[in-house]
Amino acid sequence: MTSNQPPLRLLIVEDQVDLAENLFEFLGEDRYILDFAADGLTALHLLATQSYDVIVLDLMLPGVNGYDICQRIRNDLQCQTPVILMTALSGLPDKEKGFDCGADDYLVKPFELRELQLRVEALHRRYAPQRPILSAGDIRFDPGTLEVELNGSKTALSGTPARLFELLVRAYPSFLSHEALSDALWGARHGGMEGNSLRTHIYTLRKSLQAGLGSGLVKTVHGRGYSLEVPAGTSAIKAPETP
């Protein structure tokens, strides 16, 4: 992948932590935005709240196996994101079952990490959706490139701050509560432990926007959450102030 291409959002569903760590290390966060789920139910929650370019799904998972998860991705979530199944099951009936469940590719363990990367990129080129540009007043956000534009100035976001910004743009002019943002980022069972982490990501997001666009764009709705704030002088009405 060349440097001028936007990062790919990958969900890796794998219960073997050492393999997941190898994948994270090999792919790297400069070229990919990576999420990890150690079981199928966690993966389904992430897919219900986040968007990804490719899903890498292990078949032999605790609880619900990869075949069932793949079917639920297609049938329950109506999600058409490309799925690569990876497994030690190499028989033709196993592969046939995987494709019948809705998988787009099937990779037998052990495999070269570079081969997985090539398959991920090939699937993305084949199935990449054209994501619409999101807008809030004069603010434009491209979920495909993670680029923000305001009055001719542009800056690119990455990782969790990019997800935060997309959530706030979609919610504009309403605010999102701390709990709603934490649920979207870390799941409904975050247990309130992500408060400091959320504030850190908000700080990072504001800092990036300030450096690239001259405005932090994110307003704290005290005691309630955060909202997107269109700078004064643009064509849109600001988000409502805290009551």
Report pLDDT digits (tens) over 166-198: 999 989 999 999 988 887 776 654 555 455 788
Write the CB contacts of 19 (distance below 8 Å, at least 6 apart in sequence). Answer: none
Per-residue pLDDT tens listing for the chain (243 residues): 434 466 788 999 998 888 888 888 888 766 788 889 999 989 998 888 788 889 999 999 988 899 999 999 999 888 888 999 999 999 999 999 999 999 999 999 989 999 999 999 999 888 766 667 889 989 999 887 789 999 889 999 887 888 899 999 989 999 999 988 887 776 654 555 455 788 999 999 999 999 999 999 999 999 899 999 988 654 433 333 333
φ, ψ at 211 (rounded to 5°): -70, -40
Q: Show the CA angle centred on residue 75, arms to residues 21 and 59, nearest 5°.
A: 30
Q: What pLDDT was estimated at residue 153?
A: 92
Q: What is the pTM of this model?
A: 0.57
How confident is the model at residue 236, as a pLDDT?
Answer: 39
